[in-house]
Structure 1
Amino acid sequence: MESCVYCGISASDWKKKGRVGCSNCVELFREEYLRFIPRTPDGIWEPPTDFPMHGEWKELQSLVQSERWKKIDSYSLPFSYRYRVARNPKGSVYPVRTTKPPERFFLDWFSGKIDISEDVVPSHFETKKKKRRLSFEKETRISWKGGTLFTGDEDHFRWEYVTDSLADLSETLDSSFIEEFWDRERFDYKKGIGFLTSCPTNSGEGDKFSVAVPDSYTESGILEGFRLPTDWGFYREEGQGRLIFFRKNFGRNGKNSFFNLVSYLALLVILGKEAGKASSTRFPF
């Protein structure tokens, strides 16, 4: 088969762009598609025993989680936290093609009022045939549930939440509406793969956590002895003076790995180090 009969993506399109057009053509390129999906964490991350301040870390861990996040927040560190989840409506092509305005589409979608057969254009063939003017062709940002829904800039929609508070992030992730993003009847999902997006690097659980810290920390030596886990990534925001640590595909049960790594970074900053050893400053537990 030269191309998917549902969305029109061909083998050459896949090889050139590394993107699929719908859940059906995922099966055409399944073996290659699977190679690029980030694996889920093997367990909950904790700093190795040879990392600095391991004893202080254990003391911090003795606190109840909610109190732990509040304790870290009380120091007003220059950290910023971001959570993102990427999805595609079940039965759609990527990106979603609809004649409804994006804001109306999403509000109707999450309230269960969408009829996929009427409100979503099922293929690029029909789009060309009817020459429809589609609403999702421009980047759109929609305020929703305290965060932002993005569409039009990528081949999926995503919800992002940014905060300077660990306690706030934890509370948001425990909100009931977050569970809606794991509804397999609402979003494209395949057993053995997970939730589907055009680019496989956003598939699987489809979520991403990141923390932004001042880039100056790498020069001051305050993070000396810390090593980022090999399944995490990082980049520098040029002009912003920030270093971003991130990881994809945590899932609902893997968030503690992110919170552990972030709270350990916070511990290094709060207590400081002298010649690779903990300073005399102590956490006022």
Structure 2
Amino acid sequence: MITVVSHRLDPANGKPPFHGTLTAGSAPTLGLIRRERWLPTVADHSGDGSVLILVHGYNTPRERFYERLLDLAPRMRAEGFTGAFVGFDWPAGGNPFGYDGDRTRAIAAAPRLMNDVIRPLARQFGAAQTHLLAHSMGSFLTIRALRSGAPGGQLLGHAIMTASDVDRDALAPGRSAGDVLAARARRLTHYHNTQDEVLAVPGTVVNGLRQRSGRRGLPARRYSTHQDVHCTDHYAEQRRGSGLTDAALFQFSHGWWFEDDTWVADAAQTLRRDPAADQPHSRELA
């Protein structure tokens, strides 16, 4: 079972947030649960006392996120990660041209990710056993969340970012994003692909030519606990064998991670490692 904390409109009373459980079928089925039952439900479905929070990116309708959760969780379990899965569903639109609106909504949702999800789970499971996987603008939202509220210590064991829509230079030591990730998470694993066509747009048009880390990788000067995983060569192999049109490849270059068994296995194996253990500064996805 997968649980969801959603800050879209509650189908019962028209107000966010709401808590639910996801089950698979011809279409994802969401069953609402009371807020006070959410943490016990998450704990009941953790096989090893850990939990993984998943944060989607921009242009992600509710149904697509739920389908992704239901597909990803059993594949990661098959690769040995047996923790609970929690989806944080923020109100991204379903319009690829709605970047600015989604960014505004991500900023508004950030305190809710911290107060409604990360902090309660870290208290329940402990920081070392509370992990987070963010995609695209979800990485931007996550960093905003970790910066919100009162200063404090670590809240996450592993933080994993794919196709991160974050200013690359901001992830260096002494910069806001790099510092808060180092303070709040024991380890950052950052997957990037230099052929991500979607991230070429916010990196050159929307954000004043500031390159996105999910396309360019982490800065050369970075924290020792921040690992960069180079995925371009592996992606190029998947692209050659995809048979997709150029138009379809545009979106595929940004979201292929969740369809790729090699990446799913790598992410699951990352979550099984001790986040405090030494790791190479960078490596290739293979």
Question: TM tier, shorter chain?
Answer: under 0.3
Rg larger for: 1
Calculate the TM-score normalised by the size of structure 1.
0.27
TM-score (norm 2): 0.27
Tell me which of the two structures has the higher relative contact order, counting C-alpha pairs closer than 8 angstroms and 6 or more residues apart. Answer: 1
Q: Which structure's residues are more often helix, by fraction? A: 2
